[in-house]
Amino acid sequence: MVKQYTPTERKGINFVESKFLDMEWVFREQTILDFGIDAHAEVCDEGRPTGRVIAIQVKSGVSYFEEKTNTGIIFRGEVKHLNYWKNHSLPVILVLYHPVEKKAIWCHIRGDQLGINITPKGWNVEVPKSQCFDESAFDQLRNIASPNFLSQARYLELAHVLQRGQGAARFRALLDAMHVAERSIDVISPYMDSTLFLALAFCSHRVPVRLLTEPYAPADATEEHISGDHNGIEWRTSKSLHDKIIILDRFLVINTSSNFSRFGWRGRNHEAVYCSCDTVAVASVVTNFEKVWTSGIPQAAEIDFSPIPMCS
């Protein structure tokens, strides 16, 4: 007998809803005029709705898991839905639910996503097998929902200038990007000068700032830090640092060859800058930052007024 009803789709929606409810987020299923968006979820902090919302499309069924790669599942869709998601005013995530294994994986669909392939019959994207839709996903989902849409658009605009601009234009874009931050600023730079420290200190009155450098630092920056006027900035040191990274709102990663100094960013020394908002890439950088940060020593406990080496 041919089944007239299967609850496969319903199982997928219920699974996704249960995960959001476990995290005590608001889940709102879209039951009227559904066009490529099944539901919305709103971030809650300690029971308080934040107004940060993501849109969700759920695809439920074993058939969605048939086309595999070594690292993920290939999802294929219609261009009309892709265009709708890319132009949506909310960040959109795609969730694939396996009703037999009772597990799901997900990815963030963005207009600038490099992994999207347009084909003669539609489009496809690889959904990473490692990106399970469970409790481990919610830090990333929170970062996708924050900052707000206008801030995300501003980040993408500034990322273009940071990668393509030079000299003063790039320096202004860096300062502007830091002032867009709504949740956090994390910086790794072997060397830092007092100009950029004061820029970070100014931002720290709005958002938490974490700075990781080598032990040596300008005396005026160190004295300013230990003055107690900038409680929002936490400064640690670690020897043998090589990375030069800025993470804004855990949404935008700026990877550069330049130290965190005015000369390095404003000088005409052709420093390389690469920016990424890719969810997987940002999560990887954040994880590595946390590992290095944990091993750092609080700057207040290690003050070095030795001469500053010449570097950019």
Q: What is the mean pLDDT of each run of 10 residues along the chain (312 residues)?
A: 68 95 94 83 89 92 94 92 86 94 91 72 91 90 76 88 87 94 91 90 90 85 76 86 92 91 79 86 87 83 43 40
Which domains are seen in the chain, by residue range? 8-145 (3.40.1350.10), 149-301 (3.30.870.10)
Residues 227/205, Cβ–Cβ less than 8 Å: no
The phi and psi torsions of 126 (rounded to 5 degrees) equal -90, 125
Looking at residue 5, its pLDDT comes to: 54
pTM across the whole model? 0.63
Backbone angles phi, psi at 170, to 5 degrees: -70, -40
Instruction: Say what the pLDDT of residue 119 is.
Output: 85
- H/E segment holding residue 183: none
Pairing between β-strand 252-256 and β-strand 245-248 as defined by DSSP bridges: antiparallel
Q: Identify which of 165, 103, 92 has the alpha carbon closest to the alpha carbon of residue 125.
A: 92
Alpha-carbon distance of 132 to 246, in angstroms, equals: 27
* CA–CA dist 78, 123 (Å, integer): 6
DSSP result, 61-127: SGGGGSSB-SSEEEEEE-HHHHHHHHT-SS-EEEEEEETTTTEEEEEEE-TT-TT-EEETTEEEEEE
What is the predicted pLDDT for the residue at 199?
92
Looking at residue 104, what is its pLDDT?
96
Distance separating alpha carbons of residues 121 and 291, to the nearest angstrom: 44
